Structure 1
Amino acid sequence: MDILSAVHRSDLEWLETHISYHEIDWRKCVHSKSGDTALHVAALTGSTQVTSWLLSHGCDVCIEQQNMDGKRPLHMAVQASTLPIVRILLYYGATIDPLKRADWTPLMLACTKRSLQIVKYLIENGANLRLINKDGWTSFHLACREGDEEIVNYILDIDNSVWNTVSNNGRSPLHTAAMHGHETTVQTLLSRGNYLTDESDACGNTPLLESLRMGHISIARLLISKHQADIYAKDKIGRCGLHIAAEAGQAQIVKTLIETCGVDVNLLSDTALWLACGSRKRECAHRLRDLGAKDTADHKGTLPSHLMQI
């Protein structure tokens, strides 16, 4: 459509020349596949001039219109990390906490985009930090997932109890930061929050187990030394950190747990060697054998080496 193309090009001269806004139903001027209105497109491209022109020429009727993903123009401005457009849309009355598909607010998007200025502006204008998406994640969970220390500390300054929340599957912001390898954020959460040692999610995973699964050895050491995390803590199916690291193929983690932390290489649930072979993690299986893991049969007589040649 010519209008959407002109907006995409930020061609204000074409719009002023060709558009008689009294004759346009802006709500029907949408992209056939994305459902984007002209205001969505302008917000995403970041043209303050075109955005202002559209809003002052009748397109303000689209300010709360959703595209196929449930995004409103404010979502698009935040997605593009364009603070001037955010300001313009809020000035014209855009709702501060609209939900897109999966119940994401603009503030949640801003936290994933590491846009501290936009995070501040949204909160200062009334954005709700306590809203959750369909997975039970708050904006603070998302900030911890990204590991942006400025945003993490800013939100804690605004609400010093925001650390005390869990998602639908029981994961805290500490679980999230540990899983995604953000050591500085883990340090911040341990110093500014009051997390219980070895608090587990719905599957029995502690922050330590998540860090071991993902191979974040420095975070694992931090949790053990500063949070007194239990290296023998087990998930709901009886696996401790050694088993989880072996199954994930984290050879260096396995070596550290055995040689530095003194974990028994043949510690039972299924043995670590069983899990490494079952998951086809050849390097980790070889490391376990080198460290003394036994090729021990289960009650059916099946050996780990039957699952994968080692």
Structure 2
Amino acid sequence: NPPVTAPETRNVRPAFGAAATDCEPNNSNTHALSDMPWSDFAPAEDAPDREQQVARLFTACEAGDNDRAFLVLKACEKQRYPLDEMVNARTPDGATPLFYAAKGGHDVVVETLLATGQCVVNAATAAGFTPLFIAALRGRAGAVGVLLNEYGVAVNQPAKDGRTALYAACEAGCVKSCRLLLKAGAQPDVGARRRPDNSTPLIVAAYLGHAAVVQVLLDAGAKLTPADDDGTALANARRQRKHEVVEILERAMKEKGWTEEDLDAPVLVPP
């Protein structure tokens, strides 16, 4: 296992919420670790066993306590516990420490875990939720950005219900996450043949009235014609009285020179 390196400073980020528009975390505190006595973490007779250390790591990741997570990883390294087994430990429903850190939007903890070089970044829960998916669903744009920088992250990997990370970000109304995912190669129309109701990211964004997200998807080339059980994105927006979204979609139709009948035309979407 590669050593866990001690940076000059690390952030301790408590749990926080995220606004649906910018999805930015609250201000975080910084705490210097350069004076931490790493030699004190040598194996001892009363040192915590592996199961205890795993529990401590999960707790630190869920709370966003980066200092504690880093200390646990260093202790495990000193105790010669395999880091790959520690960072990829699973709860009964399949969640990993990385999943909990991403879920809470604790992007600095996510960075610390990824720095071990041992994380299975696409590990999914029983429902098929990956760390990237849960970060997108919770509107954690910072964690989404960190995860997208990791080699091998599966941007279009669907959950068992067919939703992708982009679909989840559209549900959350997180413009920043949507832009990051699209830039990383997320397919704006994926989902129409995976979701039981045939819905797409554009349809769910329109249904929920996330006007800025709808515009981002259209700018990325999302198709207007796919329809779920309740109709196209425009039909969903009208039904839900999302007037701003209706205006955006009608303007997009006008720019294409389309009429209402054109929305009934068949369209090929990615499987």
Q: TM-score range by the shorter chain?
A: 0.5 to 0.7
Q: Distance in 2 between matches of 1:174 and 1:114?
A: 16
Q: Look at both structures and tell me which one has the larger radius of gyration over its CA atoms.
A: 1
Deviations 1:210-252 (A, max 9, x none): 111111111112212322x2223201x2521233224444344
The reply on whether 1:81 has 2:64 as its aligned counterpart is yes
| Structure 1 unmatched ranges of 5 or more | 1-47, 269-310
Q: CA deviation at 1:164?
A: 2.7
Partner of 1:231: 224
Asked if structure 1 preserves the Cα contact closer than 8 Å seen for 2:203 and 2:236, the reply is yes
Query: Once structures 1 and 2 are overlaid, which stretch shifts more, 168-177 or 154-163?
Result: 154-163
Asked if structure 2 preserves the Cα contact closer than 8 Å seen for 1:163 and 1:193, the reply is yes
Query: Once structures 1 and 2 are overlaid, which stretch shifts more, 251-260 or 74-83?
Result: 251-260
Residue-pair matches, total? 210
Q: CA deviation at 1:75?
A: 1.1
Q: Give 3-state SS (helix, strand or coil) of 2:89's partner.
A: coil
Closer/same/farther in 2, CA of residues 77 and 123 from structure 1, 3 Å limit? same
Partner of 2:97: 106
- Give the alignment of 1:22-101 within 5 angstroms: 58=46, 60-61=48-49, 63-64=50-51, 72-90=55-73, 91-92=75-76, 93=81, 95-101=86-92
Q: Distance in 1 between matches of 2:186 and 2:99?
A: 24
Report the residue type matching 2:56 in the other structure.
P
Asked if structure 2 preserves the Cα contact closer than 8 Å seen for 1:198 and 1:208, the reply is no
| Structure 2 unmatched ranges of 5 or more | 1-35, 265-271
Asked if structure 2 preserves the Cα contact closer than 8 Å seen for 1:72 and 1:98, the reply is no
Deviations 1:106-145 (A, max 9, x none): 1011112222221111112212102101110111112222
Percentage identity across paired residues of the two chains = 20
- Give the alignment of 1:139-178 within 5 angstroms: 139-159=131-151, 161-178=153-170
Q: Distance in 2 between matches of 1:249 and 1:130?
A: 37
Q: Give 3-state SS (helix, strand or coil) of 1:72's partner.
A: helix
Q: Distance in 1 between matches of 2:188 and 2:212?
A: 20
Of 114, 117, 122, 2:108 maps to 117
Asked if structure 2 preserves the Cα contact closer than 8 Å seen for 1:72 and 1:100, the reply is no
Q: Distance in 2 between matches of 1:117 and 1:225?
A: 31
Q: Distance in 2 between matches of 1:140 and 1:96?
A: 16
Report the residue type matching 2:206 in the other structure.
L
Partner of 2:268: none
Q: Distance in 1 between matches of 2:219 and 2:150?
A: 29
Q: Give 3-state SS (helix, strand or coil) of 1:134's partner.
A: coil
- Give the alignment of 1:259-270 within 5 angstroms: 261=253, 264=260
The reply on whether 1:131 has 2:123 as its aligned counterpart is yes
TM-score (norm 2): 0.65
Q: CA deviation at 1:76?
A: 0.9
Greater strand share, structure number? 2
TM-score (norm 1): 0.58
Greater helix share, structure number? 1
- Give the alignment of 1:262-281 within 5 angstroms: 264=260
Of 152, 176, 179, 1:184 maps to 176
